[in-house]
Amino acid sequence: AEHRWLTRPKMRFRTTAALQLGTRMIAVTEAITPIDHQSDDYLAGYVAGVSEGDGTWRRPSGGSYRDRQWYWRVAEPHYDESILRRLSEVIYRLTGSRLAIRPFDGGRGRFDPPAGRAPMLKVETRRAEVVSAVVDVIEHRLDTDDFAAGWLAGIVDSDGSH
C-alpha cells in the first residue's frame, strides 16, 4: 500500500491505495518503443521534471511588484552541476536563450551555506518569453512516451523530490 506509481495524464506519483480502476500508469521498465533522448518531447519532459522536482516559477499575477514579475529557477547542490549544465543546454535548444550557472544565495544574503550543507548553484531567468515557454511545458504536458521518459529522468535527477 506504500508503493508509489507514476500515473498519467498529470504524471503524478500515487500510492497503491489511491489508484482507481482505469488509472493510467506509466511502466518504468524496458521501453516497448525506443525513446529518443534528443527529441524535443524528451527534452521538454526533462525540463518539466527537473522544474517540478527542484524548481520554482511564477507568472505575473498582478498585485505587488514581485507578483508582476516573470520568474523561473532551478537550484542544485554544487556537486550536481551537471544537471544544471544539461538544463541550460536544453533551455537553449528549446528557446534560443542561454542561461548561466550562478551561485545560489538561498535567502540568507550570502553564498556560503549553513554548516553541514553543500554550496548551491542555480540557473534562472526573468525573461518573459523564456519563463512562458518553460511554464507552458510544465503545465501542458505532452502525452508521449518521449515526454514521459524525459519527465521521469528530470524527476530522478532532482532526487525525486516532487
Task: Annotate 23-92 with DSSP letters as a single string.
Answer: -EE---SS-SS---TTSHHHHHHHHHHHHHHHEEEE---SSSTGGGS-EEEEEEEGGGHHHHHHHHHHHH
pLDDT value at residue 108:
66
**Mean pLDDT, the chain, as a whole number?**
82
Query: Would you say 71 and 51 are in contact if contact means Cβ atoms under 8 Å apart?
Result: no
- Of 13 and 103, the structure prediction assigns the larger pLDDT to 103
List the grid coordinates of 45. Answer: 519532459
Which has more pLDDT, 59 or 27?
59
pLDDT mean over 121-141? 91
Higher-scoring residue by pLDDT: 152, 32 = 152
**pLDDT tens readout for residues 35-89:** 888 899 999 999 999 999 899 998 887 777 666 788 999 999 889 999 999 999 9
State the Cα–Cα distance between residues 46 and 31, nearest whole angstrom.
Answer: 17
Q: Which of 86, 6, 96, 85 is nearest to 42 (CA)?
A: 86
Q: Radius of gyration over alpha carbons of the chain, in Å?
A: 17
How much is the pLDDT for 118?
Answer: 83
For 6, left (φ over 0), alpha (ψ -120 to 50), or beta?
A: beta
- Structure-model confidence comparison of residues 56 and 13, the more confident one: 56
Contact 122, 101 (CB under 8 A): yes
Is it the case that residue 29 has pLDDT exceeding 60?
A: no
The answer on pLDDT for 16 being more than 80 is no
> Residue 25 — very low, low, confident or very high, per pLDDT cuts 50/70/90?
confident
What are the φ and ψ backbone dihedral angles of 57, each rounded to 5 degrees?
Answer: -150, 160
Residue 1 confidence (pLDDT) above 60: no
Mean pLDDT of 145-156: 89
Pairwise CA distance, residues 54 & 136, whole Å: 17
End-to-end CA distance of the chain: 19
Specify which residues 72 forms β-bridges with. 57, 125
What single letter denotes the amino acid at residue 17? Answer: A
What number is the average pLDDT over the span 5-27? 72
Quick check: 28 pLDDT over 60? no
Q: How confident is the model at residue 5 (pLDDT cuts 50, 70, 90)?
A: confident
